[in-house]
Amino acid sequence: MKLFAVLPIATRNKRFLFIHGGLASSLQTIEDFNEQYGKTRVVDLDTSIGESLWSDPHYGTKPWIFNRARHGGVEFSEAVTQDFCRRNGIHTLESFVEEVVAVKLEELSDVLQNNHIEAEF
């Protein structure tokens, strides 16, 4: 548990946000993630960060639905992803668990090598 407490749940650069899990309905900006994760490193499903860690994209029209497959968290639509990216000035949101917006795996190493990582939280 000590190791988990120091691992980042996300990392970003100017164009990409790589995150474990997905978005949470109450976290609208990258700063929201920083603020909420900075308060506690205890991951409780009832918190915004807990919701984020168990969230996945879906391709329906409803913005947010309960994530029945994981029995917690939410599923979020493509429109939610696009709004989040636009609001935060990023090009792509990529989940460590499931692909949110396509980035070919062979391109991933190029992205990480050619784009300085600016922040982890």
Domain ranges of the chain: 2-120
Provide the CATH number for the domain formed by 2-120 in this structure.
3.60.21.10
**Residue 27 reports pLDDT greater than 50:** yes
Cα–Cα distance for residue pair 103/70, rounded to 1 Å: 24
**Is this structure's pTM higher than 0.75?**
no
Q: Which pLDDT does position 35 carry in this prediction?
A: 85
Joined together, the tokens standing for residue 92 give 């792509």
For residue range 57-110, what is the model confidence (pLDDT) as tens digits?
Answer: 888 899 999 999 888 889 999 999 999 999 999 998 888 765 444 444 445 555
Q: From 99, 97, 90, 86, select the one nearest 119 (Cα to Cα).
A: 90
